[in-house]
Structure formats: structure tokens, C-alpha cells
Chains A and B, each alone.
Chain A
């Protein structure tokens, strides 16, 4: 509860704050709080990813991007009523969607009765890997992870294609 309150406070601070440097730092703090919440939920692997990618890497990249731009958020030109309406509608739809989910930590929920028992009980015997997260990611769901790796590769290739200085571009100016 304390964690969620702190996260809510940080979110409000991000919205109110106009100095982008402060926004980036608040975003990093938010990621660390999120990582702590994930540790509290026993999802250590995800927490590690959140702390290293969310709080570490994104902060560094955003700060690097901030160096290239101005540090102050500009005032919007017109009142953002339409975006506010769209955001409110989408938010309400998502909240409505959560009503259909099984109750939190319900052992009879569909995801816990389908393949999870096999993963939990058989993973050590079938793969010899005690950490179920690793065996699911790399073995049972190997195709998904191959897809994710390809997504990361594509992201890198996209950034290279967009930001690379072409030969001779420096001399033109």
C-alpha cells in the first residue's frame, strides 16, 4: 500500500512537473518503486529487468536525448480536451476489462490450471534447470523468446538506420 501510494505521488509529480530533467528523474524513481513492488510480488526476474532497463537504461537514454533538446516542456497550444477525452475513454475501457479478470491470486484461475502445473512440477525433471522462469522463457516458450530477441534486434537496426550519419554529411555544412 505504501509503495502504491508513493507510486501515485510520483505519477502526479511527473504530470505536474514542467522541467523535463526532473521528469526523467521521477520516471527513474517510479521504475525503482515498480521494481520493489515486483520483488514484493516474488517476481524477482521481472524486478531485475525493471530496475536495469526501466530505471537504468531508459533514464540514461532519456538524459542523453534531453541533452539534444531543451529542458523545459512547452505549454500546449490549445486546451488538450480531445486527448483528455480519448485517454479517459481508453482508461475506463481498461478498467472495465479488469472486471472480467479472475480475482488476484485466485488458485483456480484459468492460467493456473492450464500449463502452469506441468511447468512447475515437471520443469526440473524435463530441463534440469531449477529456475522455472528460465526454463519457460528459453525452452517451453523458446519461439516467443526468439521473437523477442528479433524485436530487440529490429529496434537496434531501426535506430541505426534513423540516426547514422551518412558519409559526407558532415562536409556539406
Chain B
């Protein structure tokens, strides 16, 4: 944990906006630049920022390993699940137009959930890799 007052205060001020920006990138990706991948990376960056300033244990308390690890798989399952849902509703795998009464709404719904899946997997993987690297350092220091 760093004792630097400026960093701690600035981090506290900025991290909410980083998360808000990630949400904006996620849900505004249909209209502007961005989408699931970018939003996932930005979310992971917010948590990594927190971990760098307040220390890894604090970040692990906020986003424990089991959540991160299940996020890694959950995203892919959501993406694949959208495809299976399409089959169940009478289309082909990853057909979106069957997801709602109107084919355009179906497309929008399909794209929305697919992007959610991408964001969850990407942020999970990024955070997990960071935890792995940073955690090793802490272990070695303890020796």
C-alpha cells in the first residue's frame, strides 16, 4: 500500500469515473466507438489502478479470485448461450433475428448480450493475469 497522499486521493476521485466511462463505452458501443472488448479492458484497468495504489490485498477483497475466475468462463458461456438460445427459438446458431418478435429488435438484443459476454470474459482474463503476476511478486517478498 502506498503512503502517497496525492495518489490515494486522486485514485479515489478518478476510479469512479473510469468505471463510469467503461459502462459508457459498453452501452454506447452501438452508437459510438467502443464495445465489449474495450469496456472490459477499461473495467480491468480501473481495478488494476486500485490495486496499484491501495495494494493487492485490498483489490482482492473488492474483487476476489473466485469471482474473477468465474468471470473468465461466464463471458464465453453467455456468448455461446446466445447462440444456443437462437437454436432453441428456431434459428441457426448465433442467429439474432429470432430473439425478439421484430428482427431488428432481435439483432439489438443479440448484440447487447454478446457484448456483455465479451466484456465479462475480457475483464476477467485481464484481471486474472494481473493478479497472477502481482501475486507472485508478493510471494517472493514474503520469503
- Chain A residues engaging chain B, CB cutoff 8 angstroms: 44-45, 47-49, 52-53, 56-57, 60-61, 64-65, 67-68, 125-131, 133-135, 137-139, 142-143, 145-146, 149-150, 152-153, 155-157, 159-160, 163-165, 170, 173
Contact = CB atoms under 8 A, between A and B. Distances in A.
A131 B25 CA distance: 12
B132 A159 contact: yes
A36 to B, nearest CB: 14
Given A48-B34, A126-B104, 5 more contacts: A52-B45, A126-B103, A129-B107, A139-B110, A149-B79
B16 to A, nearest CB: 18
A126 B117 CA distance: 22
Contact of B129 (A45, A61, A68): A61
Query: Main secondary structure on chain B at its contact with chain A?
Result: helix
Given A48-B33, A143-B94, A160-B69, A155 B107 contact: no
Given A127-B111, A129-B108, A57 B136 contact: no
B98 interface: no
A149 B132 contact: no
Contacts of B137: 64, 67-68
A137 B35 CA distance: 9
Given A129-B107, A146-B83, A156 B41 contact: no
Given A56-B45, A134-B30, A139-B111, A152 B129 contact: no
Interface string B116-130: 011001101110111
Interface residues of B, number: 54
Given A52-B41, A68-B140, A138-B114, A131 B121 contact: no
Contacts of A159: 125, 128-129, 132
Contacts of A163: 132-133, 136
Interface in B59-88: 69, 72-73, 75-76, 79-80, 83
A45 B34 contact: yes
B78 to A, nearest CB: 9
A64 B125 contact: no
B124 to A, nearest CB: 7
Contacts of B140: 68
Contact of A156 (B79, B124, B133): B124
A172 to B, nearest CB: 12
Interface centre among B36, B103, B107 (most CB of A within 10 A): B107
Contacts of B143: 173
23 contacts: A44-B33, A47-B33, A52-B41, A56-B45, A61-B133, A65-B133, A126-B103, A127-B104, A129-B111, A130-B31, A134-B29, A134-B30, A134-B35, A137-B35, A138-B111, A138-B114, A138-B115, A139-B110, A142-B83, A145-B79, A149-B122, A160-B132, A170-B139
